[in-house]
Every structure is written in C-alpha cells, then in structure tokens.
C-alpha cells in the first residue's frame, strides 16, 4: 500500500508530499522546495479530520504548530462541520 507520495523535479523534492495511514486515509500534506519543508504543513487524524497546521520556511518551523479544535470547525450558524 502507498504510504508516501512526493513530487520530484530533477531528483530534488519540490512540491507536495502526502503521507497516508495504513488504511489509506491522508495523514499529512507538506510542501517542499529543494528538499526542504517550505510552506504549509497539514496533519490529519486517522478519521480524516484536520488535526494541525504549521508553516515552514527553509525547513524551520515558523511560529508554532496550531492544533485544530472542534471550536475551529464551527461555522457561523454554530453547526459542527466535522465530527
């Protein structure tokens, strides 16, 4: 089963990398530039719901990893968008 999918240009990791849980559910999405994490990194719970967001610049975390809570997933009508 596929566990990681990465984009390469001329042998260099550049673009999106996606990793998956054993059951095939997306685990993480990370953007790379010249083999370095560079951009938004999203992680997901095993049920597919968004878990956290982080931002990398040249492989260094900018700020903190922001965990996603159920409160973050409430729309303007206070309806739960994810379980």
Q: Give 2-35 pLDDT, tens digit per residue.
A: 699 999 999 999 999 999 999 999 999 999 999 9
Predicted confidence (pLDDT) at residue 82 exceeds the cutoff of 70: no
Compute the distance between CA of residue 76 and CA of residue 72 in angstroms, rounded to an integer: 11
Q: How far apart are the first and last CA of the chain?
A: 27
DSSP helix/strand/coil, 82: coil
DSSP helix/strand/coil, 72: helix
Compute the distance between CA of residue 55 and CA of residue 38 in angstroms, rounded to an integer: 7
* pLDDT for the residue numbered 83: 44
Residue pLDDT, tens place only, 52-66: 999 999 999 999 888
CATH 2.20.110.10 fits domain 4-73: yes
* pLDDT for the residue numbered 66: 87
Predicted confidence (pLDDT) at residue 44 exceeds the cutoff of 80: yes
- Answer for the pair 33, 41: CB distance below 8 angstroms, yes or no: no
Predicted confidence (pLDDT) at residue 69 exceeds the cutoff of 60: yes
């Amino acid at each position: 089963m596929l566990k990681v999918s990465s984009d390469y240009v001329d042998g260099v990791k550049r673009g999106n990398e996606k990793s998956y849980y054993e059951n095939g559910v997306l685990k993480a999405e990370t953007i790379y530039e010249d083999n370095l994490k560079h951009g938004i990194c999203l992680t997901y719970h095993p049920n597919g719901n968004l878990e956290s967001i982080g931002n990398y610049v040249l492989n260094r975390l900018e700020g903190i990893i922001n965990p996603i809570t159920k409160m973050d997933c409430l729309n303007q009508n206070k309806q739960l968008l994810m379980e």
